[in-house]
Structure 1
Amino acid sequence: MKFLWTSIYVKNMDEAIAFYSNLTGLQVLKRFPARPGMEITFMGNGTTDETLVELLTDSNNSAVHYSEFISIGFAVDSVDAMLDKVKSENIPVHSGPFETPGSKFFCIKDPNGLTVQFFQQK
């Protein structure tokens, strides 16, 4: 069995695409209407074995809420470099950075309130 994607409901598709493209380097792999009022975008790096991010927007249901206990995480080479990038985009740090014996990470919120972690393995 293979884990294929994580679905994220968003209020504004263009804003979400820009956010994930600018910060994580993900590219739009496929964008299409799913039904009237609903649009889906799959983002990734274009490799055959990757797990994708699926963005969904539904004009019939604009409410988007995420629990503090739900997050997505991205591996980075340098938390310090990612912190600089986040600050240059005027995105506030939600929590961290934190260090454990083998890692360093911090969290921000995406435009819809989902917690996004940037994780560096030491």
Structure 2
Amino acid sequence: MGKFISHVQIPVTNLVEAAAWYSTYLDCTLHANFGELAIISFKEDKTNIFLWQTSDGSSSTFTVNGEPFPTIGFQVDDMDALCKKISEAGVKVHGDPLAPPVEEGRRFLKFFDPDGNLLVAHTA
């Protein structure tokens, strides 16, 4: 039986640039770069994120009834700081980055990495 999620995998077109983007905008730590695979993680999480370099144009984003959905969601302590940071950087956002929606008492912000992978940040 499974105990926890050890890693998730995200396709990227440029491994070095993707690792730098996740470090810059999401404060991830780079643990290793093996050429076609880089391993990163959030500082307070034991789940690793595997960034795989690919040239086939794939992304981890999927749709439900035409609406894009992320495969990875993560909790943030300061949604306003994240909104400001990605808005100022011109990161593609699904919705209004300065007024993320509130659902079930939590704020959610969906945005894309440079390779079109949709991510969602939320408050506790």
- TM-score normalized with structure 2 length: 0.80
User: Residue in 2 aligned with 1:32?
Assistant: 34
Please state how far the C-alpha of 1:45 moved relative to its aligned partner.
4.1
- Spell out structure 1 runs of 4+ moving beyond 6 A: none
| Unpaired runs of at least 5, structure 1 | 34-38
Larger % of strand: which? 1
User: Residue in 2 aligned with 1:93?
Assistant: 93
Aligned length: 113
Change in Cα spacing, 1:93 to 1:46, as seen in structure 2 (3 Å) is: closer
Identical counterparts, % of pairs:
27
Which residue of 4, 7, 10 corresponds with 1:2? 4
CA distance in 2, matches of 1:90, 1:18: 16
Which residue of 112, 115, 121 corresponds with 1:112? 115
- Whether the 8 Å contact between 1:12 and 1:57 is mirrored in structure 2 is yes
- TM-score normalized with structure 1 length: 0.81
1:1-122 mapped onto 2 (5 Å cutoff): 1-33=3-35, 39-45=36-42, 50-58=46-54, 61-65=55-59, 66-67=61-62, 68-96=68-96, 97-121=100-124
Aligned partner letter, 1:73: G
Across the aligned residues of Structure 1 and Structure 2, the Cα RMSD in angstroms comes to 1.9
| Unpaired runs of at least 5, structure 2 | 63-67
Change in Cα spacing, 1:69 to 1:94, as seen in structure 2 (3 Å) is: closer
Aligned partner letter, 2:122: F
- Whether the 8 Å contact between 2:70 and 2:119 is mirrored in structure 1 is no
- Whether the 8 Å contact between 2:111 and 2:118 is mirrored in structure 1 is yes
User: Residue in 2 aligned with 1:36?
Assistant: none
CA distance in 2, matches of 1:71, 1:46: 20
